[in-house]
Amino acid sequence: MSMNVGETGSGGMMATINTTPLVDVMLVLLIIFLITIPVITKTVKVDLPKAVNIPTQTKPENITIAVDRDGNIYWNEKRMANRQVLLGYIKEAAVRVPQPEIHIRADRETRYEFVGRVMYAIQRGGIVKVGFLTEPDRGMRGYR
């Protein structure tokens, strides 16, 4: 803060506030808010088949588990007879070095119950890296 001391018409001191530091602080706060607001306002997309995500890098060790709308489970295009067979495949894959990633592809009309059972089997089998494969909606311009 500064104060102007000088002669005035009434013979007393004239004090004025220097607003330059206040403006500097406000500009810094404005810049901080402009940077952090986009991070805060992003929301999590729940409708997974329409999600916009980065392209996955397909590696030979990646395993794709597909779930169709009827709840049938496929391990790299091979249909699994039941969840116990799937668990056996997952346990076998979990001991490989390096451990493969599992990508889950589910039909848009699949009940979440079927996908949840697959995720539970993956967890029980000991696989650490799991991802969901989605197809981007070409007509979508951002999140709805």
Q: pLDDT class for 65, splitting at 50, 70, 90?
A: very high
Map out the domains of the chain as residue ranges. 1-42, 48-132
In the predicted model, is pLDDT for residue 15 greater than 90? Answer: no
Q: pLDDT class for 92, splitting at 50, 70, 90?
A: very high
Secondary structure letter of residue 61 according to DSSP: T
Please tell me which residue, 142 or 63, carries the higher pLDDT value: 63
Please tell me which residue, 1 or 24, carries the higher pLDDT value: 24
For the chain, the straight-line distance linking the first and the last C-alpha, in angstroms and rounded, comes to 49
In the predicted model, is pLDDT for residue 67 greater than 90? Answer: yes
Whole-angstrom distance, CA of residue 105 vs CA of residue 131: 9
Counting DSSP H helices and E strands in the chain, the numbers are 3, 5
Supply 19's token pair: 């607003």
Please tell me which residue, 77 or 8, carries the higher pLDDT value: 77
Task: Quote the pLDDT of residue 143.
Answer: 47
CATH dotted code for 48-132: 3.30.420.270
Peptide bond between residue 98 and the one before it cis (omega within 30 degrees of 0): yes
Whole-angstrom distance, CA of residue 61 vs CA of residue 101: 7
In the predicted model, is pLDDT for residue 58 greater than 70? Answer: no
